[in-house]
Structure 1
Amino acid sequence: MIYPQNFETKIGFDEIRALLQQQCLSSLGKERVGQMTFLTDVKQIREKQEHTREFLRIMEEEDLFPDQYFFDVRDSVKRIRIEGTYLDEQELFDLKRSLETIAGIVSFLHKGEEEVCHEDEENGEVRETVYNGKYPALHRLAAEVMTFPHLARRIDEILDKYGKIKDQASPELARIRREIVVTESGISKSLQAILRNAKQDGLVEKDVAPTLRDGRLVIPVAPALKRKIKGIVHDESATGKTVFIEPAEVVEANNRVRELEAEERREIIRILQEFTALVRPYAREILDSYEFLAEMDFIRAKAHLAHQIGGITPQIAGKPLIDWTLAEHPLLKLSLAKQGRKVVPLDIELTSAKRILIISGPNAGGKSVCLKTVGLLQYMLQCGLPVPMGENSKTGIFTNVFIDIGDEQSIEDDLSTYSSHLLNMKNMMKFCGGTTLLLIDEFGGGTEPQIGGAIAEAVLRRFNQKKAFGVITTHYQNLKHFAEDHEGVVNGAMLYDRQHMQALFQLQIGNPGSSFAVEIARKIGIPDEVIQDASDIVGKEYINADKYLQDIVRDKKYWENKRQNIHRKEKQMEETIARYEAEIEELHRSRKEIIRQAKEQAEQLIRESNAKIESTIKSIREIQAEKEKTKDIRQDLNDFKNKLREFEKKQEEDRIERKMKQIMERQKRQAEKKKNKENGTDGQAARTQTGSTTRTTETAATRALMPGDYVRIKGQTTTGVLEEVNGKNAIVTFGVMRTNVKLDRLEAAQAPEKKETPAITYVSKQTQDAVYERKLQFKQDLDVRGMRGDEAIQAVTYFIDDAILVGMSRVRILHGTGSGILRTLIRQYLNATPGVKSFRDEHVQFGGAGITVVDLV
């Protein structure tokens, strides 16, 4: 139910209709816009909104949607249902093009249909069409629409591309038109001959040519010479200085042309009647197809309106609900856009717990605009139109919408302004309920404030008791207090900038607003003594209450800004943390890459070592194993192995250390930069203190480092002991790790605090080196194909022991398929080995049953 009758005019919906009709391509869509009504069926509203949403997607993604010919020929189709009537050429042309458009749209929306077969117990194999396209709602709309390709083909046989009857429309028409052409050609030749003779005799001017009068070819002649040419005078010019004579020689031929033209017209009518008889049985179905075309024109117009006003098709709950963000009045938005200005968006919420919103605030502060925005957007939503609001908005459905806004004085009905408001309140109280939306402007106004406020409060109490929803604007203090003291009713305020004395047009829910009457009066220029007298009349209590209210609004705005700043900084912090985590992930990835490269280098060194060993063995054989020589060669071999090991470790440590230092320095610079930016003036003191600390550190660092000093690598925090200094290099022990570092990369550090540490088992450096070398040489695949059973088991035993020793989690044993004996023996051994967690066949793609994958503890 919509109340009152002029509801659409009051909220501005008439202008929305006009905008929508401007987007229509034909009277089909315009008529559908005029039929648009307020809906309360949530399924129907969702379907209409889905139509618009899908057409918006078509506009964004498709280039070949057929929307070029939207012609309304329904009246012509209705007329031809009477026998003897027929469609004329233009109607036929419009029918053809619009039928092609309907067929094109239906074909477009049927893309994505697939025919599937399934078995049915009763009917056997059943074929069914399934739609898998992108526009299911529009597909449902077009599902039952008929197209008429045979009619379009027949029209093509009758009309040319310009909509004119073809010569080949029938054999008789072709004969008639050929004869007309021949006859007119003969008339033209005769006239040209007569005209040449007349020019030679000086009867007509030299530049005169035959002309057409009443469908007959004639010669223009001066009145004084008209008797010199035998023929019929058909007309004269407006000035009377020229007469038009049809020579006697061509009169008979022109008569024949007239007869042929009449025959031509009769043949054309016969052709049109014949085609109309073909169309007449389908008149009902064609009219239904045009209803579909009208609906598509309407949907297209809604989609274009959505682009024009920035509208969306929101999700709709099947209950009363308003939870809107960034809602905008579409008409105000378009009006301000022409002036280069933007509308202030509205955030508003009406739920079952806070159903009625009492909005207060200064005059011209946006209260009425807020109320009209709610009314217009809710009405547009339930008419199936797109609405301009945020994507995360939640909308609902109301069965009744009542509005009381403006002056409803009536001399005929003997109604004053206040009487009309009371009549509206009476109807609202009578019909309102839990699914009603009430929109009331200046509640209780129009009469003496004290009794008007009391009546308004009593009416508001009835609204609340009936669980109605509503947006109500007022200046009455008692209504603000009522909202504070009763559940279901909440205060809202239109914000006002006291510093610049101007409205902000922003709604804030939770606190009542001040009318700012004193401030506005002072801004306008009312004398101070008048303002003081007014303040004395209302009393200090009222003035103080209004002042406290303004202070509350100001403080709430301040803390809201604080909250937004904190939220923004938290978001920045989250982004910073995410960036650091990404850098740490990159560090881990780089570390893995460095280790991989180190392994490759180690393998290369091992190959060189094997070559060195082979060379050593060869040397031993050549000198026949002399004891002293053998001892020297072995010493050279050991020295070479030690150098390789030290080189490889140093390479890996240097790479990791450089990467760590780069990331630490970058993070340190970013942290200092952010800290200085946030501290503002404190940053100067921080820089001074940092400078002092840096100078102290530099002093300590420039002191010559001696063996036994505690040192650390610049930019890091781990403390080590300087063992010895060799020129520009130094050997430093960090815990149990001993490393070679450039001296200029070290700085003095304080001795670390001694902490009790649990006892640890000492592993010798020789053992560590042996394990490390074995890990470098270890291969994760063992090939035992071709071995005997005992040889294979012995090889697997050594292989598993080495894998557990070097910390491998998974290895593979290649035994082949064959008869399966070797596979069975190996798996029996694995099943009894404590360090084996599980084993299985490799994936078929990588070897299947010929390879056993072993997972180790």
Structure 2
Amino acid sequence: MYVEPGEVVEANNRIRELEAEEKREITHILQTCAEYIRPFIPDLTESYRFLGIIDFIRAKALFAKQIGGNLPELISETHIEWNHAKHPLLFLSLQSQQKDIVPLDIILNKQNRILLISGPNAGGKSVCLKTVGLLQYMGQCGLLVPMDINSKFGLFKNLFIDIGDEQSIENDLSTYSSHLSNMKTFLREGNEHTLLLIDEFGTGTEPMIGGAIAEAELEVFNQNRCFGVITTHYTNLKHIASQTEGLINGAMLYDRHKMEPLFQLDIGNPGSSFAIEIARKIGLSEQIISNASNKVGLEHINYDKNLQDIVRDKRYWESKRQQIKIKEKKMEENSNALKAQLDTIDKQRKEIIRQAKEEARQLLADTNATIENTIREIKEAKAEKEKTKEIRHKFEETKKAIREDSQSITPQKNQQASNKQSKDKALNIGDYIKYNDNIGQIISIKGERINVAFGQLEAVLNIKMVEKIGRKQFKEQQTKINYNFVSPETNEEIRQRKLKFKQDIDVRGQRVDEAVLTITYFIDDAILVGVSSVRILHGTGTGALRQAIRDYLSTVSGVKSFRDEHIQLGGAGITVVELKD
């Protein structure tokens, strides 16, 4: 029980009174302020709305700066032509991990409206699909999008999306029922102003029936002239996309040599699911894999293998084409530089000749003036002997001075010309020459013109413009010159491959075609990194695998020879391959 002391009762009452007065004063201040600003409520409301808009615009700008957003070319028609597009959330996530994102290049136009993407699981199909949907929605909401500024961005009235599992116990919908419900809406509402985004098209039910229904739906989407990006594993959909106008296949690339996805979209060819390779990679029993291959049939396995070979060959030739472009660009730059040097030399030569002619003309004028003065003085002296001798002496001195002046104009040039002439007489096809700071070898000689090879470039020069050098000097100079037409990025990639490359490979347990394909990649890498020899472990067995590998090696131009390993190191179970320098 607490009894408040009498001494503090009065003080507590006073405190409560002061608190009540404070609240009344606060209320009075607020009422006064409200009455003062009440006439300005419309202006304050407009300012509040304006500040909200400015804050929203600033937030969009900051987000665009964070994701590297740009304003592509906006067009009123339904069209997608994106270069180096990136998923913004994936970009930020990888950036925090100090990793690079693989950009997306995609084109959807009136000729190829629906892109059907296939490829391995976890290869990036769904990410590609979501990137298209998210960037299209961002762009139509007025946000800058992470893609190159030279991209073209069309507008769509409808954006239909079927991604993920939408099953519902409350609505009595299974995964496939939900999918069909969405397809019903898409088929009814879809038109030429619609963008479809459908993930794992046709899955969720019996594969044969599901594939047939998906094929029928795809035909209607195409008839309605819808645009779309659709992912699938069904082979029948890949077939119809390759044979039907308005549809086009796309593949997510996969590195069979490293057994890892590349997350790159290749438009124009269907992709392989790489189911057998992935199953073998994770260690599934070889007997199960073999039984599965027999059950599905050789025709399907070969179809999948041919898709993989097409993708591999395309990557190889794309790489070659890029290297050729780099070399052509470098050769063009060097050719232009050499042409500029020749033009400069030609201008200098013309200027020297002009100056020499001008000096000769002046010298001739001075000489004529001297002769005329001499004749005039002789005539004035009336041919007196002593005076004539004196005048002749002065004339001879003048002639001597003029001769010395004329010889001093180009003494070094004449000396060089004589040296050149002596050397020119000794020039033959195959000789090494030096032109300015460049060294080369003579390919052909036609009169005063010689055709010279400078590395991978050829130039036609005057025989008097070059200097002959010895073979030893040529080699010394050649080591200092780097005829390098490869970009720094390619050099770095080759350096990394050299560091990671292993000179032994084990293909035991693989089928003959798989082993040969693996050896193809292996030998290509070996030639690229410049090793002298490699070892292939194939085992003895029936000898079929060993023979197939050696048949392939005999067709490779970069292979010098191959043989069995020493009996103590593996004998016939290992093939040692010697590569050319």
TM-score, normalised to structure 1, is 0.45
- For residue 351 of structure 1, the aligned residue among 98, 101, 109 is 109
The equivalent position to 2:316 in structure 1, one of 535, 549, 558, is 558
SS of aligned partner of 1:549 = helix
- Check if 1:538 corresponds to 2:296: yes
Alignment of 1:737-756 (within 5 A): none
Quick one: distance in 1 between partners of 2:49 and 2:330? 55
Q: Which secondary structure state, in structure 1, belongs to the residue aligned with residue 315 of structure 2?
A: helix
Cα 1:510/1:638, change in 2 over 3 Å:
same
Q: CA distance change for structure 1 residues 570 and 516 in 2, over 3 Å: closer, same or farther?
A: same
2:437 is aligned with 1:666: yes
- The equivalent position to 1:442 in structure 2, one of 197, 200, 205, is 200
In the aligned structure 1, how far is the partner of 2:198 from the partner of 2:24? Answer: 73
| Alpha-carbon distance change, 714 to 374 in structure 1, aligned in 2, over 3 angstroms | closer
- Name 1:487's counterpart in structure 2: 245
1:262–1:345: structure 2 CA closer, same or farther, 3 Å change rule? closer
Aligned residue type for 1:379: Y
**Residues 1:715 and 2:473 are matched in the alignment:** no
- The alpha carbon displacement at 1:460 in A equals 0.7
**Unaligned stretches of 5+ in structure 1?**
1-222, 237-244, 247-254, 680-710, 718-857
Aligned pairs for 1:2-13 (under 5 A) are: none
Q: Which residue matches 2:37?
A: 276
Equivalent positions of 1:227-266 (< 5 A) are 234=11
**Alignment equivalent of 1:526, drawn from 277, 281, 284:** 284
Report the alpha carbon displacement of residue 374 of structure 1 after superposing the two structures with TM.
0.8
Aligned partner of residue 529 in structure 1, secondary structure: helix
**Distance change >3 Å, CA 320–CA 712, structure 1 → 2:** closer
Q: Deviation of residue 445 (structure 1)?
A: 0.6
Identity rate, percent: 52
Post-superposition CA distance 1:336-370 (Å, at most 9, x none)? 11222111111111111111111111111111011
Letter in 2 for 1:715: V
Residues 1:371 and 2:142 aligned together: no
Q: CA deviation at 1:492?
A: 0.8
Are the structure 2 counterparts of residues 262 and 515 from structure 1 closer, same or farther at C-alpha, using a change threshold of 3 Å?
Answer: closer
Residues 1:556 and 1:263: Cα distance change in structure 2 (over 3 Å): closer
- Residue 318 of structure 1 corresponds to 76
User: Quick check: 1:314–1:391 contact (8 Å CA) kept in 2?
Assistant: yes
Equivalent residue, structure 1, for 2:160: 402
User: How many Å separate the matches in 1 of 2:349 and 2:465?
Assistant: 20
Query: Distance in 2 between the 1:653 and 1:297 partners?
Result: 80
1:414 matched to 2:185: no
Q: Is the 8 A contact 1:594 1:655 kept in 2?
A: no
Cα contact 2:60–2:143 (8 A) shared by 1: yes
Paired residues of 1:602 and 1:648 also in contact (CA < 8 A): no
What CA distance in whole angstroms lies between the structure 2 residues aligned with 1:394 and 1:311? 14
1:294 to 44, 52, 57: 52
Residues 266-315 of structure 1 deviation map (CA, whole Å, 9 limit, x = unaligned): 996797467426xx1x4324433433332222121111111111111111
| Structure 2: distance between partners of 1:263 and 1:449 | 77
Decide which moves more: 284-293 or 396-405: 284-293
Work out the CA distance in 1 between the residues paired with 2:418 and 2:215: 76
Other-structure match for 1:387:
145
Is the partner of 2:107 in helix, strand or coil?
A: strand
Deviations 1:195-248 (A, max 9, x none): xxxxxxxxxxxxxxxxxxxxxxxxxxxx99x99xxx996259xxxxxxxx99xx
Question: Equivalent residue for 2:328?
Answer: 570
Shift, 1:409, TM fit: 0.4
CA 1:456–1:643: 2 relative to 1, 3 Å:
same
User: Partner of 1:508: helix, strand, or coil?
Assistant: strand
Answer yes or no: is the 8 Å Cα contact 1:594–1:652 preserved in 2: no
- The CA deviation at 1:635 is 5.5
Offset, 1:477? 0.7
Aligned match of 1:501 in 233, 253, 259? 259
Partner of 1:779: none
Deviation at 1:393, TM superposition (A): 1.8
Q: Contact between 2:159 and 2:194, CA under 8 Å: does it hold in 1? A: yes
Change (3 A) 1:269 1:485: closer
The letter of the residue matching 1:412 is E
The residue type paired with residue 664 of structure 1 is: Y
Is the alpha carbon distance of 1:712 and 1:320 closer, same or farther for their aligned partners in structure 2, counting shifts above 3 Å?
closer
**Contact 2:104/2:264 (8 A) holds in 1:** yes
8 Å CA contact 2:156, 2:193 repeated in 1:
yes
Q: Is the 8 A contact 2:370 2:395 kept in 1?
A: no
In 2, the alpha carbon distance for the partners of 1:265 and 1:345 equals 60
Hey, what's the Cα distance between the residues in 2 that align with 1:446 and 1:262?
A: 67
1:235–1:264 Cα change, 3 Å: closer
> What do the CA deviations read for 1:696-736 (whole angstroms, capped 9, x no partner)?
xxxxxxxxxxxxxxx9647269xxxxxxxxxxxxxxxxxxx
Paired residue type of 2:55: D
Return the letter of the residue paired with 2:296.
V
Deviation at 1:658, TM superposition (A): 12
Partner of 2:306: 548
Change (3 A) 1:639 1:512: same
Q: How does 1:156-235 map to 2 (within 5 A)?
A: 234=11
Q: CA deviation at 1:603?
A: 9.0
Higher radius of gyration, 1 or 2: 1
Question: What is the aligned length?
Answer: 438
Instruction: Letter of the 2:466 partner, please give it.
Output: G
The 5-angstrom pairing of residues 770-781 of structure 1 reads none
* Matched residue, 1:750: none
C-alpha deviation, 1:589, in angstroms:
5.2
Aligned to 1:433: 191
1:324 touches 1:348 (CA, 8 Å); kept in 2?
yes
- Name the counterpart of 2:215: 457
Task: Name the residue aligned to 1:142.
Answer: none
In 2, the alpha carbon distance for the partners of 1:525 and 1:313 equals 48
Q: Structure 1 CA distance, aligned partners of 2:128 and 2:250?
A: 11
* Shift, 1:614, TM fit: 9.2
Corresponding letter in the other structure for 2:437? R
**Separation in 2, partners of 1:444, 1:451:** 9
Displacement of 1:391 in angstroms is 2.8
CA distance in 1, matches of 2:197, 2:442: 54
Q: Residue 37 of structure 2 aligns to which amino acid in structure 1? A: T
Structure 2 residue corresponding to 1:580, chosen from 319, 331, 338: 338
Q: Partner amino acid for 1:566? A: I
The residue identity in structure 2 corresponding to 1:276 is: I
Amino acid at match of 1:495: L
User: Deviation digits for residues 475-523 of structure 1, max 9, x if unmatched?
Assistant: 1111111011111111111111111111111111111111111111111
For 1:609 and 1:267, the matched residues in 2 are separated by 117
Task: Give the match's secondary structure for 2:263.
Answer: strand
1:514 aligns with 2:272: yes
Amino acid in structure 2 at the alignment position of 1:383: C
- Is this contact kept in 1: 2:195–2:228, CA < 8 A? yes
SS at match of 2:123: coil
Give yes or no for the alignment of 1:340 onto 2:101.
no
Pair 564,359 (structure 1): closer, same or farther in 2 beyond 3 Å: same
Q: Provide Cα deviations, 1:535-582, integer angstroms capped at 9, x if missing partner.
A: 111111111111111111111111111111111111111221232233
Structure 2 equivalent of residue 12 of structure 1: none
Give the secondary structure class of the aligned counterpart of 2:145.
coil
The one-character-per-residue Cα deviations of 1:564-610 (angstroms, maximum 9, x if unpaired) are: 11111111112212322333344355456656766886798689769
Q: How does 1:16-55 map to 2 (within 5 A)?
A: none
Give the partner amino acid of 1:304: L
1:146 — aligned with what?
none
